[in-house]
Amino acid sequence: MDKKIVILTVPGIGTKEVGYSRDFEKDVRRFTKKQLSKNLRFVETRPFSVTDVDQNQDALFRRLDAQNKLGGILSPRKFVIEAFGDGVTFERDAAAPNSNYRRIHEYMKAQIEQANELLNEGDSFVILAASMGVHVLSTYIWDADHNKGIFAVQPAEDNQNLRNLDYLATIGCNLPLFVSGLPETKIIAFEKRNPHFSWDNYYDRDDILGWPLKQMSPSYDALVTDHEINTGLYVGSHVKYWDDNDFTKPFSEKINELYK
């Protein structure tokens, strides 16, 4: 049986529509070898779909906008309340039994279990995480490794802890925003998943929400390789990674290497 590569995607803020990674998938299939393309499996996750965050943010903005004329749905204020609101809301009351933090992590656990069901011995497991999705994934891995959060009572099993992850690619990563108040000594990356695990982080200098990671701390320096790319216009650069050849081509080359 030919080797399979399973690629699980984790998007950034918002619920996202089913099919948000369609253009990314098309590019990867186009840039990978023909034989490999037939053996790719893509799994979309939509972490915020299990919360009421989007609806609550929209209702709040509409109440404020109706009386204060803040610019309507195209206002930059709406983007700000969604982008930064998700980050604040995600970790608020994280220890509460039905918190957004736990609901999202439970959802991710189920999605990771399903991805593992597609894997046979010798197959490769890959994750692409974007923007705040990197923070969601990072906190999930940290809790799995340290028996915290949803893993406090029942430790993570082998099909849940991502110790079999071969490759992680991140785009528009904003992890520095979540650790910016900490000293360097307390900014600690999750453990390398296994001896052959690698992590490539892609960012555009013009993307104010996408950052390099290596200089955050020694543990990130040892774990991550940063790649500066150009995804286009300043304002829209943060949402352009998914189908920009500056990212999809080198990502696909990595997938080709995994297939060898």
Q: What is the mean pLDDT of residues 128-143?
A: 97
Least confident stretch, 17-26, 60-69, 130-139, 230-239: 230-239
Grouping H, G, I as helix, E, B as strand and the rest as coil, residue 212 is coil
Residue 134 vs residues 121, 139, 151, 199, 202: alpha-carbon distances, Å: 27, 9, 19, 12, 12
CB atoms within 10 A of CB 260: 7
Q: Amino acid identity, residue 241?
A: Y
H helices present in the chain, as ranges? 22-31, 34-37, 53-68, 76-91, 100-117, 132-146, 175-179, 218-223, 245-259
pLDDT tens digit sequence for 184-196: 999 999 999 999 9
Predicted pLDDT at 217: 98
End-to-end CA gap in the chain: 14
Q: What is the mean pLDDT of residues 86-110?
A: 93
Q: What is the mean pLDDT of residues 77-103?
A: 89
Q: What is the mean pLDDT of residues 226-241?
A: 88
- What architecture is domain 11-51+103-259? 3-Layer(aba) Sandwich (3.40)
Predicted pLDDT at 202: 98
Q: Amino acid identity, residue 30?
A: R
Predicted pLDDT at 82: 82
- Cβ atoms of 120 and 66 within 8 Å: the answer is no
Confidence of residue 8 (pLDDT cuts 50, 70, 90): very high
| Both tokens assigned to 217 | 């701390």
- How far apart CA 225 and CA 76 sit, in angstroms, is 32
Q: Amino acid identity, residue 104?
A: I
Instruction: Check whether 154 has a pLDDT greater than 60.
Output: yes
Domain ranges of the chain: 11-51+103-259
pTM of the model: 0.94
Confidence of residue 128 (pLDDT cuts 50, 70, 90): very high
- ∠ CA 225-227-228 to the nearest 5 degrees? 150
Residue 246 vs residues 29, 39, 234, 251: alpha-carbon distances, Å: 15, 23, 15, 9
- Cβ atoms of 167 and 131 within 8 Å: the answer is no
Of 213, 256, 249, 222, the C-alpha closest to 5 is 256
